[in-house]
Amino acid sequence: MSLRLGVLVSGSGSNLQSIIDASENGIIKSKVVVVISNVPDAYALERAKKHNIPGIVINHKDYPHREDFDREILGVLKNYNIDLVIMAGFLRVITKVLLDAYPMKILNIHPALLPSFPGLHVQKKALEYGCKFAGCTVHFADAGVDTGPIIIQGVVPILDNDTEETLSKRILSVEHKIYPMAIKLFEEGRLKISGRRVLIDPPLSVDEKTFLTNPPILF
C-alpha cells in the first residue's frame, strides 16, 4: 500500500534522502509528503526543497512544554493526512500526544545495536567501550529514549583504526538500507507485533547458520 509519510528531522537528513530516493526508485510505494524540522537551518530542509516536498519548521524552543510542541507537529501531520511518521535523525523525545494519535505508526532510527547504547554520541561510546561490532536499529517509537519494539537491525564491524567519524560513516551507510526496508515491510502490512517482538509475516528466509565474528576465526 502507498502510505503518506511525514518525516521528522533535526539535521543533515541523509536518512530522509535515502527514503526519498527509495520512493522515487519504486523500492517503496510510500511517498514523503511533508518534512518537519525542529532546527530552522537543518540541511534536511534543503533536501526536501530539491524534491518539491514542503518543509516546515517547528522550533521546540518556542514551546515551553513538550506536549505543546508535539501538538503543533500533530496539527501539520493531520493537515497532510499522514499515515506513517518517520523520525529520521529527529533529536527530540516525543510524548503521548503523538504516540496516541499514531499508535505503532511512528518509526525511529538509532545508530547503535539497541538495547546497547541508547541516547546520544553512541558510535563513540561503542568504540570506547571496545565493542567489536556496532550497528543501527529501526524500531517503533514509544515514550522512552530508543526503547520501542525492534523492526530491523544492521551490524558493522568496528576496526582497530576506526575513529568516531569512520565508524559513524560505516553505520550510516547501513542506516540508509534498513530504513527503506523497514518502511517497505510496514507498507506491505508484514510487521506483526507480539509483545516486544516484531515478526515478519510471511517470514523472510534467513540462513540460521549465519554468524559474524570480529576478528574472524582463523581455523
Number of amino acids touching ligand GRF (CB under 6 A)? 12
Sheet holding 4-9, edge to edge: 55-57, 31-37, 4-9, 84-87, 106-110, 133-140, 150-157, 197-200, 191-194
CB of 111 to ligand GRF, least distance (A): 4
Q: How many CA atoms lie within 13 A of 75 on its CB side?
A: 9
E-strand ranges in the chain read 4-9, 31-37, 55-57, 84-87, 106-110, 133-140, 150-157, 191-194, 197-200
Q: Which of 110, 121, 139, 176 is catalytic?
A: 110
CB of 64 to ligand GRF, least distance (A): 25
CB of 60 to ligand GRF, least distance (A): 16
Nearer to ligand GRF, 24 or 201 (CB): 24
Q: Would you count residue 172 as binding ligand GRF (CB under 6 A)?
A: yes
Active-site residue, 176 included: no
Q: Confirm if 187 and 2 have CB atoms less than 8 A apart.
A: yes
Nearer to ligand GRF, 82 or 176 (CB): 176
Q: Would you count residue 11 as binding ligand GRF (CB under 6 A)?
A: yes
Catalytic amino acids?
A: 110
Residues of the shown chain interacting with ligand GRF in the complex, contacts defined by CB under 6 A: 11-15, 88-89, 109-111, 172, 175
